[in-house]
Amino acid sequence: MSQTRFAVSDLSSRSVAFAAVLALELVIGDMGSLIGPLVFAAILLALVSQARRVFNPLMLRMHAKEHARNVQLIAEARQSAAQLPAWSSRSELEAALRHVGLGEWAPRLAELARHCILLVPGSIDEGAAPIGASRLGGQPDMPPDLNWPLRPPVMAPWEGPQAGPVPGRITLGGRHWLHRLLRTRQWKQAVQRWERSRQIERDVRNREWPLSFVAQIDFAELHAVCALDGFPPTGRLLFFCDPFDWPWGEEADQARVRVIFTEVPSDHLQRKAFPREFDDPRARELMPRGYALKTRVLRPTAWLLPPASSFAGRLHWPCWTDALSDAYEQFWLALYARHPEALGLNGEAGIHQVGGIAWSIQEPVEAACAKFAGDGPEFADNWQLVLQIDSDVEVGIEWGDAGRLYLCARKEELAAGRFDRCWTVMQCY
């Protein structure tokens, strides 16, 4: 009896399996060539799901170890900051480098050091900035006969890419594909918003547009702190830049920045009003932070700094070991801990600088300017950092992903006061 039931059950199972295979054959026959990609996608999805289950715990442990190491490094840096000798000359800098264990390499690093002025950011207050003083943002102090600089149309006419696919994951979350498949009301609204923003972008970029005022530098104020070689003892530099179309460094990008140098005395300067285009509500949709930057005062401080620790490995010195790299990094960590107001958070943010060596994020900025300007990167030593402006969200400036703007010039043109020949490069993380 049990054998009979087993046979019937087995027959039923085989019948169900046969029916399932027959149904699958019918589906496959209807789907034709689509079955291959679908099977491949299903297998890939399963593999990705399994890989995430395996690797996620590993990644979490790795990040935890990295965080613990960073906490330890910062604690050690704070402890050694009080022991780091201060310096004002190359010999004193060499002694500070020897103090952290760099030994015979200390003279070479001290020889590479350059005098510069770090602009320590202060409060955000329009009223706290006297006419002509060094500062970020606000309204520029210009001679009355100078107009607010404009950038030309990006292209004439600039059509840009078509509206194309809406970035659904950003606008509708992880199930954006379902909204798109079902053509939901949310999807239609997202498409309309996307097309509207693209049209506004075309309208703004197809016309002349006022550049945002980024910074002004009073060289007399800086000269009283430190006389930098090649820089004028008086006069003011005003720097304007497009906050939307960033100047990555190509020749065409230089139309998106403007440098004005004036020697007009401060009592003859006029605080210019913002252009009316900045109040255009459609343009504000393109730049929600706005085109007018907030004012932050800058206090000049004199420094003699060697190349940053992140670029010591690019010097290609023989016998430069990992232990030396760690010692040099510790030197900088102690410096960051001792002067956070000037060097930002571990040297990664808030560094505004005149002269010296650029705090490059990618390739060395001086070499990048020489390359983009047509000199060739081998002529990097002939280029000098003029001004470095970091991202500052409170002011309203963010160059890419926490990036920096670098204004450089050939040394002979800087000595001649040809600031109109400066070259601008942007780098970010």
Residues 108-150: tens digit of each pLDDT: 999 999 999 999 998 887 667 889 999 999 999 999 999 999 9
Q: How many CA atoms lie within 13 A of 55 on its CB side?
A: 6
Identify the DSSP state of 253. G
Burial of 355 (0-12, 13-18, 19+ CB in 10 A): buried
Q: How confident is the model at residue 187 (pLDDT cuts 50, 70, 90)?
A: confident
The rounded distance, in Å, linking the Cα atoms of 24 and 27 is: 5
Q: Could you tell me the CA-to-CA distances from 359 to 192, 326, 343 in Å, in that order?
A: 42, 19, 11
For residues 155-176, give the mean pLDDT: 58
pLDDT in tens, 221-263: 999 999 999 999 999 999 999 988 899 999 999 999 999 999 9
Mean pLDDT is highest, among 2-6, 119-123, 192-196, for 119-123
Helix 2-31 / helix 35-81 crossing angle, nearest 10 deg: 90
SS3 call for 329: helix
| Two structure tokens written together for 166 | 């809406």
The rounded distance, in Å, linking the Cα atoms of 17 and 23 is: 10
Q: How confident is the model at residue 208 (pLDDT cuts 50, 70, 90)?
A: very high
* Helices within 206-249 (DSSP H only): 219-223
Helix 35-81 / helix 322-338 crossing angle, nearest 10 deg: 70
What per-residue confidence (pLDDT) applies to 391? 92
For residues 280-296, give the mean pLDDT: 88
Rg (CA), the chain: 30
Mean pLDDT for all residues in the chain? 82
For residues 66-90, give the mean pLDDT: 67
Mean pLDDT is highest, among 74-78, 277-281, 287-291, for 277-281
**Residue 173: which of 192, 190, 196 has the closest Cα?**
190
Q: Could you tell me the CA-to-CA distances from 106 to 268, 331, 346 in Å, in that order?
A: 48, 11, 22
For residue 107, pLDDT beyond 60:
yes
User: What is the greatest pairwise CA distance in the chain?
Assistant: 113
Specify the higher pLDDT residue, 193 or 58: 193
Specify the higher pLDDT residue, 152 or 128: 152
Instruction: Give the percent of the chain with pLDDT over 90.
Output: 47
Query: How many other CB atoms sit within 10 Å of the CB of residue 247?
Result: 23
pTM: 0.77
